[in-house]
Amino acid sequence: MNLSAQPDPALITPCLLLECGRMQRNIDRFSQRMHALGVALRPHIKTAKSIDVVRKMIAPQPGYSGLTVSTLAEADYCFANGMNDLLYAVVIAPGKLTAVAQRLQQGMQLSLVLDNLASARQVVDAGKRLNVNFRILIEIDADGQRAGVRADDPDLIEIAQRLDTNHSTLAGVMTHMGGSYQCRNRPCLIEAAAAEHAAVIGACDRLTQAGFDCPIVSLGSTPSARFAEDMSDVTEVRIGTYVFMDLVMAGLGVCALDDIAISVLTEVIGHRSRRGELLIDAGWMALSRDRGTAKHAVDQGYGLVCDAQGQVLNDLIVRSADQEHGIVADRNGRPVSFGQFPIGCRLRILPNHACATAAQHSGYWLLNEPSTSAKWWPRMAGWA
């Protein structure tokens, strides 16, 4: 059993803990797997939003420092910290093109994504007006879930044609297999990974046959990356959640519970004697409102409860959450032992969704991090 160190009793609860040994194991595992599959790993910073964590994520690939971002603020943060091979992996809002152009003129190497003719037209017009060259990946829809043009859509070639100007450069194709989050077993995940691969390779082949260069072939989601068996002709994988893992990933079979590297430290503040439940000082402000396991075989409520050392207390979940209050209950309805959990004792809550829970905090309190004397790593936030 991989127990964590005891968090500092002086910490004011609730706060976010990062078990760095677990994080390093997640980083190593995915880096080794992508290396074995012959593909670069372009970490997505949206989960951690921490340059200290990002430095750990890029360490296994010396000489490569490509990163994925989901906001312009994340791009600015990476650039300010000396990282400058950036892919902004949300289809570009035309209203942000002026801000992007300013960054390109300051030397930022930022690639954009789009999936439709109207955006392509606006990108080209803005490139002319602002006298820059936007580097563009076309987003491919692999699952019908969100954004992207389908690999067999006639618009794909037309978008490429429209981008063939002095003010825009087609750099390749990318996709995101969000549909993998809806899988509930290994065969579904293997199939999702194969479908993701087929979609992006199919799109690249069509573009190449139509005479366009397609140097970048990019895909990614933590579940599909975990179960991918074939990355042939893919140039990079974009993943972020793998660094921390969470209960959604554990529910999908992507990780084990003791791979989950972040947790919220909380304190028991009351005993609900009529219900046999604990009141804790971590509500949705600390845990987030994410209920990502609600439709899983095992519903973890607002999070799975561990003792202060990180040992999972398998039957205890956060049943409900107000802003600064949580209620811990036994998932089978048995009364919780008040003797075992006196008022003032501390617990840790594993998150449903690492991205959402971490976003509620300004930084990470470190456990088991040998490389630094720092006790806390800050996070960035916001959009502009």
Q: Which residues bind a copy of itself (CB under 8 A)?
A: 9, 11-15, 46, 70-72, 90-96, 99, 115-116, 118-119, 122, 144, 146-147, 178, 267, 269-271, 274, 279, 281, 284-286, 288-291, 322-325, 327, 342-344, 346, 355-356, 359-362, 381-384
**Residue 35 CB, nearest approach to a copy of itself (Å):** 27
The residue (of 115 and 258) whose beta carbon lies closer to a copy of itself is 115
**Of 128 and 186, which CB lies nearer to a copy of itself in the complex structure?**
128
Q: Report which DSSP code applies to 149.
A: B
Which of 91, 100, 93 is closest to 73 using CA atoms? 100
Of 172 and 240, CB closest to a copy of itself? 240
Q: How far is the CB of 286 from a copy of itself (least distance, A)?
A: 8
Q: Minimum distance between the CB of residue 293 and a copy of itself, rounded to whole angstroms?
A: 13
CB of 195 to a copy of itself, least distance (A): 17
Scored b (16 or more CB within 10 A) or e, 244-280 reads bbbbbbbbbebbebbbbbbbbbbbbbebeeeeebbeb
Token pair for 163: 């981008």
Question: Among residues 42 and 361, whose Cβ is nearest to a copy of itself?
Answer: 361
Helix (H, G, I), strand (E, B) or coil at 26: helix
Which residue lies nearer to a copy of itself by CB, 69 or 231? Answer: 69
The first and second tokens of residue 7, run together, are: 């968090």
Instruction: Report, in Å, the least distance between residue 370 CB and a copy of itself.
Output: 25
What span, in angstroms and rounded, lies between the C-alpha atoms of 219 and 151? 14
The string of DSSP letters for 200-260 reads HHHHHHHHHHTT----EEEE--HHHHHH----TT--EE---GGGT--HHHHHHTSS-GGG-
For 143, the token pair is 């699952």
Residue 80's alpha-carbon distances to 73, 83, 188, 379, 383, in angstroms, are 10, 7, 40, 14, 15
Cα–Cα distances (Å) from 168 to 11, 290, 314, in that order, read 51, 38, 53
CB of 344 to a copy of itself, least distance (A): 4
Contact 207, 198 (CB under 8 A): no
Cβ nearer to a copy of itself, comparing 325 with 331: 325
211 vs 382, which CB is nearer to a copy of itself? 382
Q: How far is the CB of 143 from a copy of itself (least distance, A)?
A: 12
Nearer to a copy of itself, 39 or 280 (CB): 280
Three-state SS at 287: helix
Task: Look at the alpha carbons of 195, 197, 201, 203 in this order and tell me if their dihedral is positive or negative.
Answer: positive
Task: State the pairing for strand pair 236-237/40-41.
Answer: parallel
Shortest separation between residue 229's beta carbon and a copy of itself, angstroms: 26
* Strand partners for 165: 168
Q: How far is the CB of 384 from a copy of itself (least distance, A)?
A: 3
Q: Which is nearer to a copy of itself, 31 or 116 (CB)?
A: 116
Residue whose pair of structure tokens reads 């065969």 in the numeric block? 187
- Separation CA 242–CA 23 (nearest Å): 9
